[in-house]
Structure 1
């Protein structure tokens, strides 16, 4: 093992033990970026299961590994312990390379080859199939739940997450004097109003103020990400257009629905017009008027049938 490999292994142990990046970097006199690169490249994961344990600690966004799933795979005598661990890790992210790294504690270069290969193992495939079915039964999610999720994304608005307003601010400037209340003793100053020469009053400007709403009072499921960029909060919502597209593809054909409504309105208008004309016709008796009305109704209904209604 080279010196760098030894150093990397020691750094890994310190990282898994909970040491901070800056402390590890100072200890081994290496750049923090190098340390982070090792962490990502070799899949260092705090809280990962030890060799003797079959339990896995899921991340917030990982798929839930239930007690039933762990019991099922533990009872499988056809798989080795590492193969069992591979299955459990795979169910968390469905990433064969990452799962192989965690189960076999190897480098990324080894895992990127052996992970997908192990996934093709017949016994592994059978065990994963059974566990996936178990997960599906415990999720209790149907197509309607997915549609509801898309509906929430399509109708969400950024004002659900942030509030913004235009605020009027008065302008001030520094007035340096020995009696000033602000600044260093060597050069004190006061703030005095900036006067607009046209109005003779204190000048002003408008400031755009954006505030994040309290996460405890909003639905955060529609937020894709929140990050701080140059001291400002940047909120990214899920794509409304994409959600609308998904909904439209799952709803009845809008063109056919519109045509049906148009035909229905036209038929109702024709019937109302005929009814009014018949009632205003003083030259026919009641029986003749009813006959004309029924004939027109049959004509309208026959037209609907011809249009496929």
Structure 2
């Protein structure tokens, strides 16, 4: 099974037996010469070929998931009131009531609640925690190639998403020219996609 995944006998042997590279290099070539093993690999290749159509449908569905992904599926954000904090703790007025201020917030959903296969990066840095989704523009471009093969409702959704993505890209370019920073992972993905970057 590892051989079918990598098509590299040495790597497949290492994955299967957790051994040194030199050992895998010697033993893997010996195993490939075994008639029973070669027959089994050929049988599995044949089964895999018959399942290519199913695999293609799976890949297409994944592109649909990426193209139609909504950031609110992964995080909630907005404004809320919190008690102001000073050098010595929470701030209160002269009557002992908490002094409230409005602040922005971002709350990430639990990993068990989201589709982690379309999240390419989660990181914690100086500016806080950020999440990056798979390349929406690339997925839209791929789906556009299969446009005529899709049901009408998906075609309609694709048109809307493509228009939204193009609009966001124009806005992002305008903001970049003004020197303003947009704090959304979607816009970062759109810009990097246009530059030819991989998400």
With normalisation by structure 1, the TM-score equals 0.35
- 1:208 matched to 2:121? The reply is no
Provide the C-alpha distance between the structure 1 equivalents of 2:120 and 2:112, rounded to a whole number of angstroms: 16
Counterpart for residue 193 of structure 1: 92
Provide the C-alpha distance between the structure 2 equivalents of 1:215 and 1:235, rounded to a whole number of angstroms: 12
CA contact (8 A) 1:151 1:247 kept: yes
With normalisation by structure 2, the TM-score equals 0.50
Provide the C-alpha distance between the structure 1 equivalents of 2:140 and 2:90, rounded to a whole number of angstroms: 53
> Can you give the 5+ residue segments of structure 2 that lack an aligned partner in the other structure?
149-199
Which residue of the other structure, out of 216, 238, 245, is the alignment partner of 2:134? 238
CA contact (8 A) 1:162 1:213 kept: yes
Which residue of the other structure, out of 4, 9, 13, is the alignment partner of 1:100? 13
- 1:134 matched to 2:67? The reply is no
Q: SS of the residue aligned with 1:248?
A: helix
> Can you give the 5+ residue segments of structure 1 that lack an aligned partner in the other structure?
1-87, 176-189, 196-201, 253-309
Provide the C-alpha distance between the structure 2 equivalents of 1:107 and 1:213, rounded to a whole number of angstroms: 41
Q: CA RMSD in A?
A: 4.2
Aligned residues: 144
Deviation at 1:137, TM superposition (A): 4.8
Counterpart for residue 229 of structure 1: 124
Provide the C-alpha distance between the structure 1 equivalents of 2:65 and 2:15, rounded to a whole number of angstroms: 36
For residues 12-38 of structure 1, the C-alpha deviation after alignment (integer angstroms, 9 at most, x for no partner) is xxxxxxxxxxxxxxxxxxxxxxxxxxx
Bigger radius of gyration, 1 or 2?
Answer: 1
CA contact (8 A) 1:169 1:207 kept: yes
For residues 58-109 of structure 1, the C-alpha deviation after alignment (integer angstroms, 9 at most, x for no partner) is xxxxxxxxxxxxxxxxxxxxxxxxxxxxxx4424655533322255664124
CA contact (8 A) 2:83 2:91 kept: no
Deviation at 1:171, TM superposition (A): 2.2
Which residue of the other structure, out of 137, 149, 154, is the alignment partner of 2:62? 149
CA contact (8 A) 2:91 2:99 kept: no
The structure with more strand, counted as a fraction of residues: 2
Q: SS of the residue aligned with 2:54?
A: coil
Deviation at 1:117, TM superposition (A): 4.8
User: Which structure is richer in relative contact order (CA contacts within 8 A, separation 6 or more)?
Assistant: 2
Change (3 A) 1:109 1:164: farther
CA contact (8 A) 1:153 1:222 kept: no
For residues 149-195 of structure 1, the C-alpha deviation after alignment (integer angstroms, 9 at most, x for no partner) is 211211112211111122233324366xxxxxxxxxxxxxx854379
